[in-house]
Amino acid sequence: MTKASKFYSLPGSVRIIEPDFDHRRYSRLKFTSLIFLFVRKVLKKHKPQVVLSFGGKYNSFVILANLGLKSKIFVSDRSRPGVKYGILQSILNPIVYRYATGIIAQTKLAKEYVKRQTNHQNITIIGNPIRIISSDQQVAKNNIILNVGRFISTKNQSFLIEYFEKISDTGWELVFIGDGPKIDLVKKQASESKVSDRIKFLGNIRNIDDYYRAAKIFAFTSTSEGFPNSLAEAMSAGLACISFDCMAGPSDLIDDGVNGFLIPELDHNTYISRLSRLMNDQNLIKSLGDAAIIKMKKYHPDVIGDEYLRTLELI
């Protein structure tokens, strides 16, 4: 099997160990069995002091693969609390997670959910590390409303086009970055809008930081999150952010009215009102953006890295 190329570059100290079989050749049951045996083999061979497993589809298998071995196992789900991973995981996870050394939740709501499910006594909240997107004084801020994310049903980019059309402020542009299965539908909606000339779709791009620096507002319309990285990155870049208060993550990042706006989920009228207010108040944009930069310091990679090392009992 030819290994897929990695989108991100990795430091030389990181070693990737991958199975040599292609999941597309097997049934789900067969593939699950092969993955379980592969993880068991790796654990027995390398005898790691600590294992950190990400993902509700495989966390239980990692815990079970460690039976009789001595590694400490920490697990973390990276999706919205309560998301369904399948019948097998729905049965296994609440039971098997109890045998993990610890559980890492991304948000307050995620911790509450996994606590109810497992009654585990060692659950720690650690958000994602967010890189600092420093402002470039030579880059002029423009009247741009930015949205970054996959075009899937829960991201609701179509809402944003409706809001933008209703506000209809000719001095602003709406810019979308990302791709996904719903993008053609959203593009069609945009082309039929009376503000189509001020809506842009940039697709997947590598120079995304240039747009974080150039935009003034970040508008987030997702109704389902694990931890919204794009929202956090926008806050670290000092954008004035507006988001639905969905499960889960935005309420961990935004203090409503202080460093952004949290809107009750699917309250379209309030969203439009707050977005319009932002577009007409440059001082508010700056004050929310400045406060957002301060809030994001707690998610600096060095801070989050130390939290992981302490939780994993490595420092």
> What residue ranges do the domains of the chain occupy?
23-128+303-311, 144-299
- Between CA 307 and CA 315 the distance in angstroms is 10
Q: Fold identical between 23-128+303-311 and 144-299?
A: yes
Burial of 238 (0-12, 13-18, 19+ CB in 10 A): buried
What is the Rg, in whole angstroms, of the alpha carbon atoms belonging to the chain?
22
Q: Which residue has the tokens 């979308």?
A: 176
CATH for 23-128+303-311, options being 3.40.1410.10, 3.40.800.20, 3.50.50.60, 3.40.50.2000:
3.40.50.2000
Q: Which residues of 3-34 are buried (b: 16+ CB within 10 A; e: fewer)?
A: eeeeeeeeeeeeeeeebeeeeeeeeeeebbee
Q: Which residue has the tokens 């109704």?
A: 223
> How many other C-beta atoms are found inside a 10 Å radius of the C-beta of residue 234?
31
pLDDT one digit per residue (tens) for the chain, 315 residues? 446 667 677 888 999 998 888 878 888 888 889 989 999 999 999 999 999 999 898 999 999 999 999 999 999 999 999 888 888 889 999 999 999 999 999 999 999 999 999 999 999 999 999 998 977 666 788 999 999 999 999 999 999 999 999 998 889 999 999 999 999 999 999 999 999 999 999 999 989 999 999 999 999 999 999 999 999 999 999 999 999 999 899 999 999 999 999 999 999 999 999 999 999 999 999 999 999 999 999 999 999 999 999 999 887
Domain 144-299 fold:
Rossmann fold (3.40.50)
Burial of 84 (0-12, 13-18, 19+ CB in 10 A): exposed
- Between CA 250 and CA 226 the distance in angstroms is 10
What's the confidence (pLDDT) of residue 1?
42
